[in-house]
Structure 1
Amino acid sequence: MALIFRWLIRIAAALIVLIVVTVSTVYWLASRSLPDYTDDVTVRGITAPVEIVRDNANVPHIFGQSDRDVYFGLGFAHAQDRMWQMIMLRRTAQGRLSEVFGAPTLNIDKVMRRFDIYTLSVQSAEALDPKTKLALEAYAAGVNARLAQINTEALGRGAPEMLLFNAPMAPWRPADSIAITKLMGVQLSGHLEAEVIRARTSLALTDQARLLDILPDSPGSGVAALPEYAALAPGVRRHAQNMPLDPHPLSPFKPTALAGASNAWAAAPSRSASGGTLLANDPHLGFTAPAIWYLARLELQTGGVIGGTIPGMPVVLTGRSAALGWGLTSAYLDDQDLFIEEINPENSEEYRTPDGFKAFETRASIITVKDADPVTLTLRWTDNGPVLPGSHYNLASITPPGHVTTLSWTNLSARDTSIAAAMRLMEAKSVQEGLAAAEAYIAPAQNLTLVDRENIAMTTIGAMPRRDAGHQSQGRLPSPGWIAANRWQGTLPYAANPSFVAPTGGILGNTNNKTVDRPFPNHVSFLWGDTQRVQRWQRLMQNREVHTRDSFIEAQLDTVSFTARSLLPLIGAELWFTGEAAPDGTPERQRQRALILLAGWSGEMNEHLPEPLIYAAWLRSLQARLIQDELGPLADEFDHVQPLFIERVFRDVDGAGIWCDVLQSTRVETCPEMARLALDDAILWINETWGDQLESLRWGDAHQATHDHQVLGEVPVLRYFVNIRQSTSGGDNTLQRGKTKGAMPDPFHNVHGAGYRGVYDFADPDSSVFVTSTGQSGHFLSRHYDDMAQLWRRGEYIPMSLDADLARAASVGVTTLTPASE
């Protein structure tokens, strides 16, 4: 026995040593790729030394003797901190993820290849002006200089992920930066799925009058009644099984509810306490670790610019110079139209056009798949755009037999000059110059808010499709592609885009709300991203005669839900303070406790309160009860509460109260009954998930921000090191927007919100502030991987200064790039 015991001790000791050695080796290999910020690197591609001064938040301030050298420095800095992220963005745009990850990402690659955005990016690079080309080439050279340093000095392949996934790193090209711009367009688009959902809902509903209940127009003048989708596409199946979106974290395809969003508002000197203009901007995207945003300052020949960049793109997309500030919000411009194309029954290689049948443009594309055989696709294009697979956003469910579905989309331009517009914007000195610079912008459509020292403005940038007034569905439903009136007729001139310059009230803003009410075909959109946050924003802006930087920050961080304040009195009108007190421990008593809590609630979606969780669960259960019997399996697609739908039903607008009646039952249910049953459903779910002590609930426990690593985030043990989870305030409809996941088992996880916040004060520009949701580094062993995360969660910021001395005073390192001697 003693001998066995000694051998067990020896084996255990050996295992411990082996584990320690293994962990130490892995740590050493991973840490090799941590960049040395105090370094002197000899590189080719610059004409004079370049300094990358990193302030104490690791924001690089890049100084060079020419713009070309500065763009080179930004490329080098991006590659130091976000190499893996850049490579993944490029692979996604190219449709080459499966080379690294195998079959799980094959469907993503198939759709991206069909969009063919990388080929379009290569073509767009040739259409750029010489100055923009030079900047993109310089940026690419900077990225490649870092790659060369990694290879020469054996720096762990540049990122820990590159060691785990042995993927080759091709040199960076100018087209790669354009491709990432187009990839952002994929992530921000929502009209494609919206058309499919509208078509499927039209097919599911027996009463077409109810379509505008569940998919209502934003408040404002209405539109003419649309045709039933079955009339546009005869033969289509009325009920089809849901095909959920690819859940892979790297997928750029998001449901409409998680498409782009953002906030921006500006104040003229007349509405500013300091007498200078103010601008606040917080663009919203899906949360990841690291965040998509990267803070940087570029000292160009026209002056310094500072703000948020996206690694892979050499532009400050939201930020300021000494003279001008700019911010972006998703415009919700209808820049996508689906078409049903009829295939020639005599020749499957042809499709019907207004002039007869015509051959598809075709090209073979081979996808290399790790640990599997390559897959060959035949890419097909029509005059209207690429042919898409039936699995994409459930297109098969609305496509008749003998037809295919294609997409017209401004993002599929082969002469995309959007990146040139962004570069010109960085050099603009005034609102008027900024407006002029944005004319070259194509996609994805944005609302651009501008402030200089005297003026404020907001305009929609991006190409607006020119549609025929006789379009059968006005672009709201997939339409027959062979009918000339349905096809696009080019794009409208830039002057047609909505623009607001120097408003008399002195305040401008956008929360993705409806900006103009114009008749079709100059309508901009029927689908807008917000009808709720704008109500709270208007109140906060008009409650003060003048604003300050701090009041703009307060608005940016506001967590009061207008939706909760307006809907709770409506749905609970006949439930509050009615009936006798129920015995403890009964469902009726739990309902009364919940109603008492909600009755005294201000509507603030604070992470420490129980009421937001009760409210959110109640509304979710209520909508599910209202739509399940009418929509069947399609109801699963409506996993986020539609406030206008709930309001229409409970106010019985145009007979919408009929949704409260359960079709399958013999009696007629009322809306108060449905509200009571839904509250019981919500309390039951809360009891099972979070416990029955309602007063002890915390909204933040359910509303965790999920900044997850897109590749390593699900790896056991490692996920605890790479994922950043935080209890957060806010909700779907608050200005501090924390869009919830919607899907079970964690429907209230905060998955989409402000990855960047910035507030700029032109009375004292260097008092401006900004922050991102994680940190500057993409390396999970770096202290800068998550050092901004708690600042962001608490609503704090870091200085946004163009003062070079301030950056140097507490820098974490200075990297000097020295030109190599020829």
Structure 2
Amino acid sequence: MKRLFNILLRTFVAAVVAGLVVTGGAYFLLSASVPDYDEDFEVAGIEGPVEVLRDSSAIPHVTAASFADIYFAIGFVHAQDRLGQLLRARRAAENLPLPDRAIDLEPSLSDALEAYAAGVNAWIGLVSEGGRGRGSPELLIAGERTISVWRPEDSLRIARSFLNNLQPRSGRQRVLESPDVLFPADRPKTPEMFATLPEVSLNAWALPGSRTANGIPILAADINGPLSVPSEWYLADLQFPTGAAIGATLPGIPFVVVGRTDRVAWAFRSSGSSNDEQQETPSVSSAGNFLTMLDRFARSADAQLAVDAAADLSPAGLEVVAVDRESVARWPEASTESALSPRSASFREYRLATLDDRQPIFSVESAIAVQRDTVSSAARTLLPLMAREIWFVSPTDSTESTRADPLRGETLDRLAQWNGDMDRISPEPLVFWAWVRALQRRILKDEFPATNELWAKPNPEFLYAVLSNRDGSATWCDIRPSTPLETCDDQILAALDESLGWLVDRYGSDPSAWSWGAEHTLKMAWSPIRSGGIVGDLVTLEAPASGAPNTQTSTLFTSDENDPFDSKAGTNFQTVMSLSEEGGSYFIAPAGQSGHPFSRFFENLFPMWTQGEYLVMSTDLSLARGGAVGEARLSPIPFESSKSMQEREQ
């Protein structure tokens, strides 16, 4: 017996040791690709030394004597921090082929793309030499043996893909042309039902000096798109010989997309073309023009020159907004923020117009408060229409009292005192959206039982059209298979009781214990190079979130039946910029600079994002050095070494 015990003990110890060895070995291999921000390199493709200073948030501040070396360096650091993301973006853009003929690009753009590609390839070359864990955990796990070189055409494809994602998808056309969908002849073709959002949208809001506390314009901008890790956007400071440009870069592209220099700040606004028209894929020339425009922005002396540079280059559907220390400029010139209504614009735009009209004078801090606003105009508009016939009707007024009456009365009282704020700790947003979801399901599921994309996800614009009976849209409330003629009031009351039953089943019968954040979760999942990898199952950032699809900080719902209010898309970048002072620009992205799960800068910005805090980005290198986490130097390979390498390659 003792011998058997000793054998089992030794076997157990051996298994534990083997497990520790395997785990330690796996950790060593996976962590080998975490970049060392203090490591210096000798690289081919640059003319002179390049300094890469990483501030306390690991944002690179790149300094060089030429534009080409700057573009080389941003390609190098993009690959160093986000190699997996670069390869994923390249693969996703491969379905947008380039023409066989040579692409006619401006010389400055061609040079920039060549330099950027050389920078990406310099890092790929270092990874290929070994000892860096294949450059990314997912590449190591996938067993990628070789990584094909980066070419300027790859950046063009990524720019083209980005512009394509800005195009509204023609949801109406897709549904109506589907052979599985028979549109009811006796129902109005309410256009709001088929409206679909683009995958990415850009927003900008400018305040002239006459409306700011210090007399200098303010430019606020945000981007809506996928919420993933790593973040879609990468913050950087490019210290060009003519002056620094700081802001959000898109891995795969060497330019600041939304940002500022010491002289001008720029951003974009999606104009929102009609969803009734099928949009064409942006051309290669549109992608080239877009990149040329970004290059010119960083060289512009003032806001008017910046928009002049965009006059013939801005892609269709994009408005350019720029500010300097004295003025606001736009292209097209007719583009202005004006008072809007839910009928002529989205609920989100209407809320922004309301906040803009409410306050005559703004500071940077109050502009940030507007950008982080989570009050929903959809709720403030729909709720009176939904509750108008039941807010003041007591249970004794109805012909039949039910067990739902006390809970119904309590929740209606709460909603009557609610201002529409989608606060994550409040129960009212949860009640509202559960009610809206149940109502839309009851209205549309009988007509389109198999097309759940029309009724599974709340569509406030459609419900507003129905409840206000726009163009006879209230007829959607009638259930076609039933004999009685159901009204919208019938459906509203039934949907309320249905939603309350759903909430009681999930959270109990005490509304004070319910909270929006319990159901509305921000889920930032790993974006793999290939689907089916195990990394994505291990790396996900989650947090209860305030906001909703139409608030200023936006979150878009999924269509998941079990978790209908989870959010995997929404606002993924925000900035408020003023040229009033060196530290007058605030930026934030939702995860971190690094794309490596083992890096401490993988999710370091996530707590700030969830709490509504911003980073102060400065072009002053002395400020960036305070708390810096690394400083690296890229040096040209000596001539003799370069010559030897060329001889070996031959």
TM-based fold match above 0.5:
yes
How many correspondences in the alignment?
636
Q: 1:435 to 1:334 in 2, by over 3 A?
A: farther
Give CA-to-partner distance per residue, 1:168-223, whole Å, 9 cap, x none.
Answer: 21111111111111222343332344432355599733337610365489xxxxxx
Deviation at 1:8, TM superposition (A): 2.5
Deviation at 1:584, TM superposition (A): 12
What SS is found at the alignment partner of 2:625?
Answer: helix
Partner of 1:313: 253
Deviation at 1:761, TM superposition (A): 1.5
1:331 & 1:584 partners in 2: Cα distance? 50
On the 8 A contact 1:71/1:139 being kept in 2, the answer is yes
Give CA-to-partner distance per residue, 1:65-112, whole Å, 9 cap, x none.
Answer: 100011111111111100010011111212xxxxxxxxxxxxxxxxx2
Consecutive aligned runs of 4 or more in structure 1 exceeding 6 Å deviation: 509-515, 581-585, 712-717
Partner of 1:328: 268
**Structure 1 unaligned spans of 5+:** 95-111, 218-255, 339-406, 460-497, 516-529
Q: Which among 413, 424, 446 is matched to residue 296 of structure 2?
A: 424
1:415 & 1:292 partners in 2: Cα distance? 18
On the 8 A contact 1:320/1:326 being kept in 2, the answer is yes
On the 8 A contact 1:329/1:511 being kept in 2, the answer is no
Partner of 2:160: 182
Greater Cα shift, 185-194 or 803-812? 185-194
1:570 & 1:88 partners in 2: Cα distance? 45
1:648 aligns with 2:465: yes
Give CA-to-partner distance per residue, 1:549-576, whole Å, 9 cap, x none.
Answer: 0111001000001111111111111112
Q: 1:514 to 1:270 in 2, by over 3 A?
A: farther
1:716 & 1:180 partners in 2: Cα distance? 23
On the 8 A contact 1:59/1:295 being kept in 2, the answer is yes
* RMSD of Structure 2 on Structure 1 (CA): 2.8
Deviation at 1:639, TM superposition (A): 3.3
Partner of 1:708: 525
- Which amino acid is the alignment partner of residue 815 of structure 1? A
**Residue correspondence of structure 1 range 405-444 to structure 2 within 5 A:** 408-411=280-283, 416-441=288-313, 443=315
Greater Cα shift, 552-561 or 629-638? 629-638
On the 8 A contact 1:298/1:305 being kept in 2, the answer is yes
Partner of 2:362: 547
1:40 aligns with 2:40: yes
1:65 aligns with 2:5: no
1:334 & 1:577 partners in 2: Cα distance? 40
Partner of 1:722: 539
On the 8 A contact 1:202/1:211 being kept in 2, the answer is no
Partner of 1:158: 135
On the 8 A contact 2:286/2:315 being kept in 1, the answer is no
1:450 aligns with 2:327: no
Deviation at 1:594, TM superposition (A): 2.1
1:171 aligns with 2:149: yes
On the 8 A contact 1:263/1:512 being kept in 2, the answer is no
1:809 & 1:138 partners in 2: Cα distance? 30
Give CA-to-partner distance per residue, 1:34-86, whole Å, 9 cap, x none.
Answer: 11111221111111100011111111010001000111111111111000100
Q: 1:337 to 1:585 in 2, by over 3 A?
A: closer
**Residue correspondence of structure 1 range 562-601 to structure 2 within 5 A:** 562-580=377-395, 586-601=403-418
Bigger relative CO (Cα 8 Å, ≥ 6 apart): 2
Percent of paired sites with the same residue:
31
**Residue correspondence of structure 1 range 624-639 to structure 2 within 5 A:** 624-639=441-456
Q: Which among 275, 283, 292 is matched to residue 223 of structure 2?
A: 283
Q: 1:612 to 1:696 in 2, by over 3 A?
A: same
What SS is found at the alignment partner of 2:325?
Answer: coil
Q: Which among 158, 181, 191 is matched to residue 169 of structure 2?
A: 191
Q: 1:818 to 1:210 in 2, by over 3 A?
A: same
What SS is found at the alignment partner of 1:204?
Answer: coil
Partner of 1:206: 184
**Residue correspondence of structure 1 range 4-23 to structure 2 within 5 A:** 4-23=4-23
Deviation at 1:29, TM superposition (A): 0.7
On the 8 A contact 2:53/2:628 being kept in 1, the answer is yes
**Residue correspondence of structure 1 range 432-581 to structure 2 within 5 A:** 432-441=304-313, 443=315, 445-459=317-331, 498-500=332-334, 508=337, 531-580=346-395
What SS is found at the alignment partner of 1:263?
Answer: strand
1:713 & 1:707 partners in 2: Cα distance? 17
Q: 1:712 to 1:336 in 2, by over 3 A?
A: same
Greater Cα shift, 685-694 or 85-94? 685-694
2:230 & 2:63 partners in 1: Cα distance? 25
Deviation at 1:271, TM superposition (A): 0.7
On the 8 A contact 2:211/2:362 being kept in 1, the answer is yes
1:817 aligns with 2:625: no
Deviation at 1:606, TM superposition (A): 0.3
What SS is found at the alignment partner of 1:285?
Answer: strand
1:614 aligns with 2:431: yes
Deviation at 1:423, TM superposition (A): 1.1
1:763 & 1:499 partners in 2: Cα distance? 24
Give CA-to-partner distance per residue, 1:590-634, whole Å, 9 cap, x none.
Answer: 322322221221110000011111100100110111112233323
On the 8 A contact 2:167/2:198 being kept in 1, the answer is no
Q: 1:596 to 1:769 in 2, by over 3 A?
A: same
Give CA-to-partner distance per residue, 1:4-26, whole Å, 9 cap, x none.
Answer: 33333222222211111111101
Deviation at 1:717, TM superposition (A): 8.4
On the 8 A contact 2:224/2:569 being kept in 1, the answer is yes
Q: 1:640 to 1:157 in 2, by over 3 A?
A: same
Q: TM-score, with normalisation over the residues of structure 2?
A: 0.91
Q: Which among 742, 751, 769 is matched to residue 586 of structure 2?
A: 769
Partner of 1:31: 31
1:686 & 1:447 partners in 2: Cα distance? 43
Give CA-to-partner distance per residue, 1:229-266, whole Å, 9 cap, x none.
Answer: xxxxxxxxxxxxxxxxxxxxxxxxxxx34622343211
Greater Cα shift, 617-626 or 445-454? 445-454
Q: 1:132 to 1:30 in 2, by over 3 A?
A: same
**Residue correspondence of structure 1 range 240-259 to structure 2 within 5 A:** 256-257=196-197, 259=199
On the 8 A contact 1:277/1:761 being kept in 2, the answer is yes
What SS is found at the alignment partner of 2:393?
Answer: coil
**Residue correspondence of structure 1 range 290-309 to structure 2 within 5 A:** 290-309=230-249
Partner of 1:467: none
Greater Cα shift, 326-335 or 720-729? 326-335
